[in-house]
């Protein structure tokens, strides 16, 4: 999703800021591009909450330190619109609207024929194949206020915001890069993070639905240590019964989306063929096993270890989302 900002010529940095961390990746151009450098910094609780910057001063100080350590000052940066403030809608538009007029038409219809859960959106769209004199587009919209929070933060620290993207699109790009066989399929891309689950259904490479569910997160339930890779790792030390309850609630939301898609929309004719699982949750293998048991659907955890990286260092799973973001213009 392009922002109305200046384009600059330096090689971009791809950065993810969520409620508990700042992560970046720098790619070496190629086909496919090669992960060159990456980094991570955990955030104190309450600095970012549910995608909103709560303590701008603290975040600015921490990010400024990261920029110096990672030596990325004055670089272009691509980032993600916060998932809780993103929506995807299929919209029918008049057949006489020219391609060059679609964006203007969408803004004109906001609040009248097009209703979003927030005002003043940043939008992008994908034109769908025309059929039976019916013209449809897929509208991607994000709350401008929260997108610009991050854009302004980067600009204040002498980074150059280039574009904002959606996490679901970034992860699908990575999946598409990794999959061996290209085939028509209906998949659920499931981003299972420490504090947020993002669910996106793709039909033959086109995203039609996106939902999110919060996971309660308390840093006191996790032991944070430095692993062999030099990155911080988490080990659960809290109440396992409580954790299982949180997982169960998440699985209920996943089931609701699957049932809505398969039965309410398609009367049982369209089935999800695969769940693609990715995320920074330390118990992702446990999540995979429970998903397979509950839904009897193939579950694939994305694994980029078959791809090359600089000096063949393993890319942490926590940075897969940034990798997908870096594929935006490949």
Q: Residue 7's pLDDT is what?
A: 42
Please tell me the distance from the alpha carbon of residue 259 to that of residue 208, in angstroms, as a whole number: 15
Q: Residue 66's pLDDT is what?
A: 97
Query: Between 240-259 and 284-295, two packed helices, what is the crossing angle to 10 degrees?
Result: 50
What's the burial of 182, exposed, middle or buried (CB within 10 Å: 0-12/13-18/19+)? exposed
* Torsion-angle region of 48 (φ positive above 0: left; ψ -120 to 50: alpha; else: beta): beta
**Domains of the chain, with CATH numbers?**
13-84+143-326 (3.30.420.40), 85-142 (3.30.1490)
Per-residue pLDDT of the chain (330 residues; tens, 9 = 90+): 544 443 444 689 999 999 999 999 999 888 878 899 999 999 999 999 999 999 999 999 999 999 999 999 999 999 999 999 999 988 999 988 888 999 999 999 998 888 898 889 999 999 888 777 788 999 999 999 999 999 999 999 999 999 999 999 999 999 999 887 777 889 999 999 999 999 999 988 888 889 999 999 888 999 888 776 667 788 999 999 999 999 999 999 999 999 988 877 766 667 898 999 999 999 999 999 999 999 989 999 998 877 777 777 888 899 999 999 999 874
Q: Residue 267's pLDDT is what?
A: 67
Strands (E), 57-159: 76-80, 86-93, 121-127, 135-143
Q: Phi then psi for 241, rounded to 5 degrees? A: -65, -40
């Amino acid at each position: 999703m392009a922002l109305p900002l200046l384009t600059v010529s330096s090689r971009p940095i791809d950065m993810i800021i969520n409620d508990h961390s700042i992560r970046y990746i720098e790619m070496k151009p190629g086909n496919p591009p090669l992960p060159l450098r990456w980094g991570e910094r955990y955030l104190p609780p309450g600095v970012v909450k549910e995608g909103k910057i709560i303590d701008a001063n603290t975040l600015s100080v921490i990010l400024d330190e990261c920029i110096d350590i990672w030596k990325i000052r004055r670089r272009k940066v691509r980032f993600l619109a916060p998932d809780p403030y993103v929506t995807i809608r299929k919209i029918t538009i008049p057949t006489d609207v020219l391609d060059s007029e679609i964006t203007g038409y969408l803004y004109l219809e906001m609040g009248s024929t097009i209703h979003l859960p927030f005002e003043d959106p940043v939008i992008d769209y994908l034109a769908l194949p025309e059929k039976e004199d019916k013209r449809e587009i897929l509208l991607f919209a994000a709350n401008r206020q929260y997108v610009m929070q991050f854009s302004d933060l980067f600009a204040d620290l002498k980074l150059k915001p280039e574009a904002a993207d959606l996490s679901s699109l970034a992860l699908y790009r990575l999946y598409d890069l990794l999959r061996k066989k290209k085939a028509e399929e209906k998949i659920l891309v499931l981003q299972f993070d420490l504090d947020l689950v993002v669910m996106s259904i793709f039909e033959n490479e086109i995203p039609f639905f996106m939902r999110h569910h919060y996971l309660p997160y308390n840093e006191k339930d996790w032991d944070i240590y430095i692993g062999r890779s030099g990155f911080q790792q988490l080990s659960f030390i809290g109440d396992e019964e409580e954790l299982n309850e949180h997982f169960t609630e998440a699985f209920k939301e996943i089931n609701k989306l699957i049932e809505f898609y398969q039965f309410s929309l398609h009367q049982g004719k369209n089935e999800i063929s695969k769940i693609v699982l990715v995320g920074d949750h330390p118990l992702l293998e446990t999540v995979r096993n429970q998903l397979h048991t509950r839904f009897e659907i193939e579950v694939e955890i994305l694994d980029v270890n078959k791809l090359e990286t600089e000096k063949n260092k393993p890319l942490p799973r926590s940075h897969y989302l940034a990798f997908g973001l870096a594929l935006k213009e490949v």
